[in-house]
Amino acid sequence: MAKKPLRSQKSYGKLDRDGFIHRSWIKATGLPDHVFDGRPIIGIANTWSELVTCQVHLRELAEFVKRGVWEAGGVPIEFPAMSLPETQMRPTAMLFRNLLAMEVEESIRANPIDGVVLLGGCDKTTPGLLMGAASVDLPAIFVSSGAMLNGKFEGRDIGSGTDVWRFSEMVRAGEMTLPEFLSAESGMSRSAGVCNTMGTASSMACIVEALGMSLPNNAALPAVDARRRVLAHMTGNRIVQMVKDDVKPSDILTRAAFENAIIMHAATGGSTNAVVHLLALAGRVGVPLTLEDFDNIGRECPLLVNLMPSGKYLMEDFCYAGGVPAVMNELGAVFRREAITVSGLTQGELADAGKVFNRDVIGSLQSPVGPSSGVWVLRGNLCPQGAILKPSAASPELLTHRGRAVVFEDIEDYHARIDDPDLEVDETSILVLKGCGPKGYPGMPEVGNMALPPKLLQKGVRDMVRISDARMSGTAYGTVILHVAPEAEAGGPLALVRNGDEIAFDGPNRSLELLVDDAELARRREAWEAARAPSKFDRGWYKLYIDTVMQADRGADLDFLVGKSSSEVTRESH
């Protein structure tokens, strides 16, 4: 078979004026003549930023990728990609995931590179990088930034996010002092890296490995572990061979790969945010994937990983217990073993090498950590396009519940009233938050796990049913119904809920119903349409996003970004 010509040679291989321009300007970076002799040019998309602990070490990690690329006969060229610091960006990092995907897609397509190494880790950075690379479909491989070390406070381990929510509720309940709360800050984040719980960042790292888009052990190695540098080096090696073999994301991201991602998500007790990210990624590569797939496929396996927020341990412990390869081994025939990976091996071959070293952290199908987990996909007149709930993070006694709605029209209304001692609410109530979906916020923030009213916390109440069109942090917990679609801003039934309305939630039967008759809902809809205010966003990214973003059940991607374009660029720039 004839060797496929390198894409980069269209720029660097021409002995004419255009070739002169391309080579001359890149040589100013310190590249010698002989590297343009037909070697693969490997881009390194680096989301390094000092604004985000998750990726503050990626400059260093990129150097190890470069070593591997050089060693394998390639030429590494690093370029920046937008960083999305989950804890710093306002109004929410999710607003910018699709912008990152657009930037990465066009950066890869526009530049003369043959393959790309994706460096990222924070919650929205991983899916944004994957979505962008998948839409170009040049050889691509991922190196995650890795999790930070276990948090420490008063002699015990504490977890990113999960213990923040817990400590915050304790302060509001009068069980923890503010000085004690503040003293936990320094011990919670002790190194570079993503959240040390099975939050969205680590969930997506596990999913990247389950999809086959990274080398083994990518998910669990701590950010500061020397073995992550070795992994980066070997990834640099591997991308050069992938270019030579023309192994592209479309070869890896098959239906079987997405099924493996869902199974891994269920087995690890992964973040609910993974649902919107996988739906969006599937839309880029044309793999049919629905909300029901997460529920149906996720039922195939129980919860195997004992990590916060669904369990007690942290990512560092998961690494030492065997990481993703060990989980794949325990899944046995449940895992789609025939799926191929960027390593050149099948998932079955990688699973065979996995071993469990701590049964408290990683269970087995015969002795799992918990029952079938994953996500539940709810349907009903309150969520005709679906809503989701993470049962492993919920209170079992609330998984079937009927109560009266306490409604907050938007996040400002919630903040203004939730601490009011006169708020008409009791432990049987259902908190309902509107206006926090993709269009309504905009960007679908992580506010669905609403803090409970202090007057109930002081009575010992620690969980209530909460419903919204928002998301919640992957580090959070509670009986929280999320991603209600269509959202309130798009005219979904959530917009019509009023204080005192009765809502019936039946988790085992996947039902969520607003117990208001159709005639009354029709009257409310007419009044809602009449009172609807025009959007206050009339320019820039916000407007483009609001005008084109799809609902949560479609992954909240922009409608014109679904699918992919080729890597071909036919016109010369000079």
- Return all residues near 432 (Cβ < 8 A) that are at least 6 apart: 405, 406, 407, 408, 466, 467, 468, 494, 497, 503
**Interior angle at CA 372, CA 369 and CA 376, nearest 5:** 135
Cα separation, 304 vs 365, in Å, equals: 7
What is the pLDDT confidence band of residue 466, given thresholds at 50, 70 and 90? very high
Q: What is the pLDDT of residue 372?
A: 76
Ordered structural domains, the chain, with CATH: 1-35 (no CATH), 376-533 (3.50.30.80)
pLDDT at residue 1 tops 70: no
In percent, the amount of the chain with pLDDT more than 70 equals 100
In percent, the amount of the chain with pLDDT more than 90 equals 89
pLDDT at residue 336 tops 90: yes
pLDDT at residue 6 tops 90: yes
Nearest to 385 by CA among 487, 536, 261: 487
pLDDT at residue 111 tops 80: yes
- Which of the 8 DSSP states describes residue 246? T
Instruction: Locate 173 and state its tokens.
Output: 């309940």
Q: What is the pLDDT of residue 321?
A: 98
Nearest to 213 by CA among 179, 181, 242: 242
Mean pLDDT of 138-165: 93
Helix, strand counts (H, E) of the chain: 21, 16
Cα separation, 146 vs 167, in Å, equals: 25
For the chain, how many residues are written? Answer: 574
Q: What is the pLDDT of residue 2?
A: 58
DSSP 474-525: TT--SSEEB--SS-TTTT-GGGG--TT-EEEEETTTTEEEE---HHHHHHHH
**13-31 residue pLDDT tens:** 999 999 999 999 999 999 9
Continuous segment of H or E residues that includes residue 417: helix 411-417
Q: Return left, alpha or beta for 375; rule: phi > 0 is left, psi -120 to 50 is alpha, else beta.
A: beta
Q: What is the pLDDT of residue 520?
A: 97
Nearest to 199 by CA among 132, 269, 135: 269
pLDDT at residue 134 tops 60: yes
Nearest to 371 by CA among 438, 294, 302: 302
Cα separation, 422 vs 372, in Å, equals: 40
550: three-class secondary structure by DSSP? coil
Higher pLDDT, 328 or 163: 328
- Give the residue carrying structure tokens 């310190």: 30
Cα separation, 558 vs 542, in Å, equals: 12
**491-533 residue pLDDT tens:** 999 999 999 999 999 999 999 999 999 999 999 999 999 998 8
Contact predicate 382/513, CB 8 Å: yes
pLDDT at residue 207 tops 60: yes
Tell me the longest C-alpha to C-alpha distance in the chain: 79
**259-283 residue pLDDT tens:** 999 999 999 999 999 999 999 999 9
pLDDT at residue 441 tops 90: yes
Contact predicate 205/144, CB 8 Å: yes
**79-103 residue pLDDT tens:** 999 999 998 999 999 999 999 999 9
Q: What is the pLDDT of residue 539?
A: 95
Of the listed ranges 62-66, 84-88, 108-112, the one predicted with least confidence: 84-88
What is the pLDDT confidence band of residue 119, given thresholds at 50, 70 and 90? very high
- Which of the 8 DSSP states describes residue 33? G
- Give the residue carrying structure tokens 């942290």: 314
CA torsion 234→239→240→242, rounded to 10°?
A: 130
Nearest to 133 by CA among 113, 98, 109, 97: 109
Cα separation, 403 vs 408, in Å, equals: 16
Mean pLDDT of 434-457: 96
Q: What is the mean pLDDT of the chain?
A: 95
What is the pLDDT confidence band of residue 374, given thresholds at 50, 70 and 90? confident
**391-438 residue pLDDT tens:** 988 999 999 999 999 999 999 999 999 999 999 999 999 999 999 999
- Give the residue carrying structure tokens 């239906």: 255
Phi and psi of 376, rounded to 5°? -100, 135
Single-letter code of the amino acid located at 569: V
Cα separation, 146 vs 318, in Å, equals: 12
